[in-house]
Structure 1
Amino acid sequence: MNVLICPDKFKGSLSAEAAAAAIARGVRSALPQAQVVLQPLADGGEGSLDLLARQPGLKRHRLAVPGPLRRPVDAGYLLGGDRAVIETAAACGLHLVPPPRRHPKNTTTIGVGTLLDDALARGATRVTLMLGGSATSDCGAGMAAALGYRFLSREGYSFVPMADSLQAVHRIDGSHRHPGLAGARITALCDVTNPLLGPSGATYTYAQQKGAPPEDLEQLERNQQHFARLLERDLGCEVRELRGGGAAGGLGAGCVAFLGARLRRGTEGLFEAVGFAELAAAADLIITGEGKVDEQTLYGKVVAGVLGYRQPTIVTCGTAEIGAGQLGAEALLSLDRNTAAPPEERMGRAAYWLEQMIYLYLRNRPVSGKGADRQG
């Protein structure tokens, strides 16, 4: 049996590499004769840069940029010839904001624009931006400000808006836009397919994860609605229904409007880079996973991307809020449902419990097993 192990990270517990190694130990214990292939994955969020760093010709370049709270952070991107790969979470990721400070009204994507400015200055004309894991909901306004765009109040003052001040923008001036953008081909890999606005948009789906209390959501949504109208009026770019426009707090929409970027599903671009289609075709069984499996998993996350190949697939996770049937998986194995360990131990010893969970399932797995909904 050929087993392909291809999880994303278990956020807060395991990197994708560590999760793959733990699953592999469980597989080898239960199925000693199996041929095991490990291919950690990412969807455009944190960890994506590490995945692409293995490609030939790309080297890491590091610099200090303004972080999501405008304090300097050490960030980096990949550069090789005329190609650059930037993980936006390195400059505006949620992990860079202490929990007490988390609220999208306090955060900016200005560091993303600083990374892009540096890449353009070093000769990059083919740029891949990987969107995901952000602490922001500013529709890319901070990024754009770092690249020469001006945001003017009704009184004519220029400022850099954040999520709570998007409604104060009266006009967007692109006359001083970075000249290097004109000759650049920019692709933005989105970790989700949500639109910018509406019930499944950036605010109502993700803002609470970034620290916004429920009572602030309506105002944040109105702010983005206002900003979307300005993008159409001043830049001629309609982004309200854009698939993936809601990625990274509206950074997907901002990449299209300010950079002329092409949006692409993150899993498509990253799976292509590692030759995932060939790996999946050769597998008799695939085991994937991520920290939490819920409704958001269906919006373009790694697990959804892997299941799209329609091979017998086991999904692993730390916590689950939906069932295997909703995913179309052979089984959904979650640490919260399949171990008796308390939450603190599951987090602290996630690798051990993940290994044990896989071992116990595979030891008793029927040979065909396809389509069974096993949740423990």
Structure 2
Amino acid sequence: MSTIDDAVRAAVGAVTDPELRRPLAELDMVQAVAVREGVADVSIALTIVGCPAAQRIESDVRAAAAAVPGITGVALTVGVMTPQQRAALTERLRGGRPARQMPFGPDSLTRVIAVTSGKGGVGKSTLTANLAVALAARGAAVGVIDADVHGFSIPGLLGLVGPDGLPPQPTRIDDLMLPPVAYGVKAISIGMFLPRDGVAGGGAVAWRGPMLHRTVQQFLTEVYFGDLDVLLLDMPPGTGDVAISVGQLLPHAEVLVVTTPQAAASDVAVRSGLVARQTGQRVIGVVENMAAMTLPDGTVLDLFGAGGGAAVAAALSLDAAPVPLLATVPLSPALRVSGDTGVPVVAGAPADPAAAAIIGLADGILAQGRSLAGRPLPFAPR
């Protein structure tokens, strides 16, 4: 039978680190537990000095220990891991992979989806952020990489902005970075690394090809996302350096093409799908954004025309691989407001027509599943 010490250790060990999303026991953060006359003496070790999650971890540990029957008080000692303990932790988090090796290769079970567009201003980032939140709300483990280095906007769209108007900086554990989490979505963006100079939004990036490639590579190899079901990449518009880099680094990725209904956008959107296909990526569908909206009096406003999404899907379809129009997202004031406030419309106003369309898109993507043909699975016959 377990002693009260064991019960307290189990309760404390079950507390989840809010950044790593794993129990403290699994992370070897519980150093010692002893109960004397009803008082639980608990010692834990945080990953780093100044851990941003320290206050929450301490609160959760105290509550967990106090909830054990027979405990009348909790004395908590908080320390920091030694370099050796931290090195062992990062090794465990990598799952045995060498440092700076990408965990999203062809043998990964994570579904990687690049959200692309031919031109800017079609709402691709807004769609990516809301799709990520909708997928997470359905129980999927989701990560987002803001690969639009020059026009990064994912932190703001997910509400990852502090009082100073700047995104939070990721916590570093040796050579691993822990992405901030919002609405159950782990997100990383270059905006989290820019100088804290007080410029709203985090200033500007003026980089060329090699720096862009290195940034995307670092996001894929040095950010600890943990076990993900879906990794979304918010791609920059067009078919430039980042699109080529992602094609080289993730040739097995799937591609979701976003367009608006007008021909000026849909004609260009086809090109992003064609370039992705040239690298071996598979176009899984098209989303038509800013489609016609129904006004309160019942009239329909098709500000940007109609048919662009269907035209892109038809242009990208092959006899052996048809490309469907997966969603038509109408113009929506609520969707626009959500981007300004950092509260995704699928979370703040799920009944809105645009939110309903994006939620339907999430359901459709989850229903599609991912082909495992030719991929090694992480188990062996006995």
Select the structure with the greater relative contact order (CA < 8 A; seq sep ≥ 6).
Answer: 1
Report the structure number with the largest CA radius of gyration.
2
User: TM-score normalized by structure 1?
Assistant: 0.26
More helix by share: 1
User: TM-score normalized by structure 2?
Assistant: 0.26
